[in-house]
């Protein structure tokens, strides 16, 4: 059976780029996102490239729904070789205007969903003695920006969450890494989703003995 890339937080940017890149390496791809219309769009684009793709709708902030959906993916499509956790909420609000309740909801998507996803995929990875968890990072984790308070805190928190996950899973034979994108996706050719996807593939290709937790994409 071919390798399996499971993307949580599938969209037309980084996630689609990564799906295409890994698909060219004969990975089958499973996409999880909230909007089924968006998923169908992505599926059509990937199918045109000959990628074996499956779509699954779930709200990442709804932990029970996300967990059940991921278990369904694994049952129908097989264990994940690679998990990519990609969701983030772009909310324009500073410390004086950000609704605390919306902020906490954003943290469910930006950070806590990674915990749910890892707990779903890790048992099969542990049994296999191998597997990779990748996280889409961003510049605001290192350079917080006040008008995007929620995103800044979310990217910093998911980076730390990924490191905590790494410390837990690495002894089990599971690699964990993040690509920190130090620019706006799609703002120019260098920050195109396809170029960024190459950075994810390069990180994935690193041997275990040379593995680095964070790859900066600048």
pLDDT at residue 187, as a whole number: 85
CATH code: domain of residue 158:
3.40.50.720
61: which DSSP letter? T
State how far the Cα of 17 lies from the Cα of 171, in Å rounded to an integer.
30
d(CA 203, CA 218): 14
Decide if pLDDT at 168 tops 80. yes
pLDDT in tens, 123-157: 999 999 999 999 999 999 999 999 999 999 999 99
By C-alpha distance, which of 167, 172, 165, 217 is closest to 195? Answer: 217
pLDDT the model gives residue 78: 96
Task: Please report, for the chain, how many H helices and E strands are present, in that order.
Answer: 7, 7
CA distance 43 to 59: 18
pLDDT interval class at 1 (50, 70, 90) = low
pLDDT, one tens digit per residue, over 26-58 is 999 999 999 988 899 999 999 999 999 999 999
Print the domain residue range for 113: 4-217
Q: How confident is the model at residue 65 (pLDDT cuts 50, 70, 90)?
A: very high
Stated as kind and residue range, the H or E segment containing 135 is: strand 132-138
In angstroms, the Cα distances linking 152 to 85, 101, 110 are 17, 16, 10
Q: Give the count of domains, the chain.
A: 1
What span, in angstroms and rounded, lies between the C-alpha atoms of 142 and 156? 7
Residue 66 has pLDDT above 80, yes or no: yes
- Phi and psi at 164, nearest 5°, equal -65, -40
Residue 70 near residue 116, CB atoms below 8 Å: yes
Q: What's the mean pLDDT when you consider all of the chain?
A: 96
Task: Kindly tell me the burial class for residue 101, based on how many C-beta atoms sit within 10 Å of its own C-beta (0-12, 13-18, 19 or more).
Answer: exposed
CB 160 within 8 A of CB 119: no
- pLDDT 10s digits, 85-131: 999 999 999 999 999 999 999 999 999 999 999 999 999 999 999 99
Say if CB 217 and CB 136 are below 8 A apart: no
Look at residue 186 in the predicted model and tell me its pLDDT: 84
Residue 178 has pLDDT above 90, yes or no: yes
Max intra-chain CA distance, the chain: 52
In this prediction, residue 198 carries a pLDDT of 97
């Amino acid at each position: 059976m071919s390798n399996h890339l499971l993307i949580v937080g599938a969209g037309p940017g980084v996630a689609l780029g990564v799906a295409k890149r890994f698909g060219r390496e004969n990975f089958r791809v499973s996409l999880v996102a909230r909007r089924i219309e968006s998923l169908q769009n992505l599926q059509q684009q990937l199918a045109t490239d000959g990628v074996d793709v499956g779509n699954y709708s779930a709200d990442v902030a709804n932990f029970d729904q996300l967990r059940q959906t991921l278990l369904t993916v694994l049952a129908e499509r097989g264990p994940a070789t690679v998990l990519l956790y990609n969701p983030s909420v772009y909310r324009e609000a500073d410390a004086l205007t950000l609704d605390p309740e919306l902020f906490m909801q954003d943290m469910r998507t930006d950070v806590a969903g990674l915990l749910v996803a890892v707990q779903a995929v890790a048992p099969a990875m542990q049994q296999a003695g191998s597997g990779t968890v990748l996280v889409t990072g961003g510049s605001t984790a290192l350079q917080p920006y006040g008008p995007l308070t929620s995103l800044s805190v979310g990217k910093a928190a998911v980076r730390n969450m990924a490191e905590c996950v790494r410390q837990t899973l690495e002894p089990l034979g599971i690699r964990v890494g993040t690509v920190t994108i130090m620019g706006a996706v799609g703002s120019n050719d260098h920050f195109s989703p396809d170029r960024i996807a190459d950075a994810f593939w390069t990180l994935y290709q690193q041997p275990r003995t040379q593995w680095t937790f964070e790859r900066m994409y600048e």
